[in-house]
A = this chain, B = another copy of it.
Amino acid sequence: MKNLDALYSELTLKTNAKLVLLVLDGVGDIATAPTGNMTPLEAAKTPNLDALVGQGCAQGRMLPLAPGITPGSGPGHLALFGYDPLEFQVGRGVIEALGLGLELKPGDVAARANFCTLDAKGLVTDRRAGRIATEVCEELCAKLSAKIKKVGDVEVIIKAGKEHRFVVIFRGKGLEGPLTSTDPNREGLALLQAMPEAPQSAAQKKTAKAVADFYKLARPILAGQPKANGFLMRGIAHQPHIPLFQDRYLLKAACLAVYPMYKGLAQLVGMVKIEGPQTIAEQFQRYLKEYDRYDFFFIHFKYTDKYGEDGNFAAKTKAIEELDAALPILLQKQPDVLAITGDHSTPCAIKGHSWHPQPVLLHSAYSGNDKLERFTETGANSGSLGVFEAKYLIRLMQANAKMFDKFGA
């Protein structure tokens, strides 16, 4: 049986079409009684989105991955970029590094680390080092960075995160993850050794040695610390080999995101990161300027997710209205295909990501018209796109850009 991705590739034609994927992070929501049985998309006043829908759109809902599964931002965006999140898994260390704005190179192995407290016998007494202040973490990471540049021929890059969290990157030849965690998972136990998950892999063995050597150098440096005299390392993995976006879709892609994590995820698939814009209006303005230089624009809007995580219905609604107010800037150069969706739902009632299929809107000269009046979850339920896996959105965008040849006679 022919592989579906291979078929898509075979059918793909190069065109001059412009495609825009506008991601309202976590936009999907659920209607509950306390919010008048409305979702933020339903409650928001969105005259510009409404006008777009009136011009003719196809709508539907997308499963980020599979029924019931709640994705993190990594799998959520990989799916939107057309990569099956089950096939292309990105280690927690890599995601964390991307989230801190670190540039990863091919072959880098990244680990997420936690400072922890060890007793005189070396047993973990607090897996989070009493949640030390971020400033303390930054100070300790600076100290480690100053004293440890390399272990053997492997470069070490350390960057502080929030509270007790930091990231360590191992850069050098012949490294590979994944390794097992050094976290004993509960207090009262000693740190574990990071071990190759594939015991035969020379590259994993070399990486495990680098991690062990890093511990040897780092522990004496932390020895005098009252709380953060040790650390755990988890999600020790290399940046996965992902086919480049441009090769896969014949689309030269640019990323217009504000937050590092999303820039990092775009970079992972080979999109060009465009730096500078800080607001959605600025992102749209920059899109106008870059319009001729790229075929595909991934534009990321964070605040729908942020206020969903806060459970702040009014603020999430307002964020949608702000997005809507800026939309006419984007539409000054209307792309051939515009998709508007989320990477997942972040319902205010849940205060976190969820499994509910996110609504999606697709507008092109060939999208058809579902004759809905607005872009909402309830409307999208009866859209022509039905409920489908998010990884197919890019294929629908390509189809709407007339980028696919006919299959068979």
Contact = CB atoms under 8 A, between A and B. Distances in A.
A407 to B, nearest CB: 5
Given A89-B408, A409-B73, A369 B32 contact: yes
A208 to B, nearest CB: 22
Q: Which of A7, A90, A407 has the largest count of B CB atoms less than 10 A from its CB?
A: A407
A31 B89 CA distance: 40
Contact of A31 (B31, B56, B67, B383): B56
Contacts of A2: 86-87, 89
B381 A377 contact: no
A274 interface: no
Nearest to A77: B408
A342 interface: no
A253 B371 CA distance: 39
A304 interface: no
Interface string A36-68: 010000000000000000001000110001111
Contacts of A377: 368, 384
A180 interface: no
A299 to B, nearest CB: 21
| Residue of A86, A99, A371, A384 with most chain B CB atoms under a 10 A cut-off | A384
Contacts of A354: 366, 399
A387 interface: yes
A349 B352 CA distance: 43
A222 B89 CA distance: 59
Interface in A1-46: 1-2, 4, 7-8, 11, 30-33, 37
A99 B366 CA distance: 29
Contacts of A75: 407-408
Contacts of A404: 68-70, 355
A276 B362 CA distance: 45
Interface stretch (A186-194, A280-288, A310-318, A388-396): A388-396
A373 interface: no
Contacts of A1: 84, 86-87
Contacts of A182: none
A384 B385 CA distance: 12
A111 to B, nearest CB: 13
A289 interface: no
Interface of A: 1-2, 4, 7-8, 11, 30-33, 37, 56, 60-61, 65-75, 84-87, 89-90, 92, 95-96, 99, 347, 349-350, 352-357, 365-371, 377-378, 381-388, 392, 395-396, 398-399, 404-409
21 contacts: A1-B84, A2-B87, A4-B66, A7-B66, A30-B368, A33-B56, A37-B369, A67-B395, A69-B395, A69-B404, A70-B405, A72-B407, A75-B408, A347-B368, A350-B366, A353-B406, A354-B399, A355-B404, A357-B384, A381-B384, A381-B386
Given A2-B89, A61-B384, A67-B399, 13 more contacts: A2-B86, A4-B86, A32-B368, A37-B369, A69-B399, A70-B406, A71-B406, A72-B407, A349-B365, A350-B366, A355-B396, A370-B378, A382-B382
